[in-house]
Amino acid sequence: MNVVGVERRSAWEWRVPATGAMRVPVVLYADATLLEGLDERALEQARHVASLPGIVGACYALPDAHWGYGFPIGAVAAFDPEQGGVISAGGVGFDISCGVRMLLTGLPRAVVHARRVELADALFDSVPCGMGRGGRLRLSDHELDMLLAGGARWAVKHEFGCEADLERIEERGCVEGADPGSVSLHARERQRAEVGTLGSGNHYLEVQHVAEVLDARAAAAFGLVEGEVVVTIHCGSRGLGHQVGTDYLREMLGAARSFGIELPDRELACAPLRSELGRRYLGAMRAASNCALANRQVITHIVRLVFARLFQQHELPLLYDVSHNTCREERHEVNGRECTLFVHRKGATRALGPGHPELPLDLRGAGQPVLVGGSMGTGSWVLAGTSASSQRAFGSACHGAGRAMSRNEALRRWTGSTLVHELAERGIVVRSPSFRGIAEEAPEAYKDVHRVVEIAERAGLARRVARLEPVACIKG
CATH of the domain at 255: 3.90.1860.10
Q: Which amino acid is at 186?
A: H
Positive/negative CA dihedral, 373, 199, 235, 165:
negative
Residue 285: inside a domain: yes
What secondary structure letter does DSSP report for 200? Answer: S
Kindly give the confidence (pLDDT) of every residue in the chain, 476 residues in length, as a single tens digit, with 9 standing for 90 and above: 666 679 999 999 999 999 999 999 999 999 999 999 898 999 999 999 999 999 999 999 999 999 999 999 999 999 999 999 999 999 999 999 999 999 999 999 999 999 999 999 999 999 988 666 666 778 899 999 999 999 999 999 999 999 999 999 999 999 999 999 999 999 999 988 889 999 888 899 999 999 999 999 999 999 999 999 999 999 999 999 999 999 999 999 999 999 999 999 999 999 999 999 999 999 999 999 999 999 999 999 999 999 999 999 878 999 999 999 999 999 999 988 899 999 999 999 999 999 999 999 999 999 999 999 988 888 999 999 998 887 889 999 999 988 888 888 888 998 989 999 999 999 999 999 888 888 988 888 888 999 999 999 999 999 999 999 999 999 87
Structural domain range at position 207: 7-475
Strand 73-79 with 55-66, pairing: antiparallel
pLDDT of residue 5: 78
pLDDT of residue 131: 67
pLDDT of residue 35: 92
Residue 202: inside a domain: yes
Catalytic residue among 158, 301, 399, 421: 399
Distances from the Cα of 454 to the Cα of 74, 345, 395, 403, 405, angstroms: 16, 20, 17, 17, 21
Contacts of 295 (CB under 8 A, 6+ apart): 194, 195, 196, 197, 235, 236, 237, 238
User: What element of type H or E holds 272?
Assistant: strand 270-272
Confirm if 404 and 445 have CB atoms less than 8 A apart. yes
Task: Determine if the pTM surpasses 0.85.
Answer: yes
Confirm if 234 and 212 have CB atoms less than 8 A apart. no
Give CA–CA dist 146/142, Å, rounded. 6
399 is catalytic: yes
pLDDT of residue 177: 97
Positive/negative CA dihedral, 98, 70, 379, 454:
negative
Residue 1: inside a domain: no
Give CA–CA dist 47/437, Å, rounded. 32
Residue 116: inside a domain: yes
* 3-state SS class at 127: coil
What total number of domains does the chain contain? 1
pLDDT of residue 68: 92
**Start-to-end Cα distance in the chain:** 32
**Phi, then psi, of 459 in degrees rounded to 5:** -80, -5
Q: Which amino acid is at 358?
A: E
Give CA–CA dist 225/279, Å, rounded. 44
pLDDT of residue 437: 86
User: Left if phi > 0, otherwise alpha if psi is -120 to 50, otherwise beta: which for 27?
Assistant: beta
**Chain-centroid distance, C-alpha 206:** 15
Residue 2: inside a domain: no
* ∠ CA 399-281-133, rounded to 5°: 60
- What DSSP string runs through 335-370? TTEEEEEEEEEESEEE-PPTT-TTS-TTTTTT--EE
pLDDT of residue 380: 96
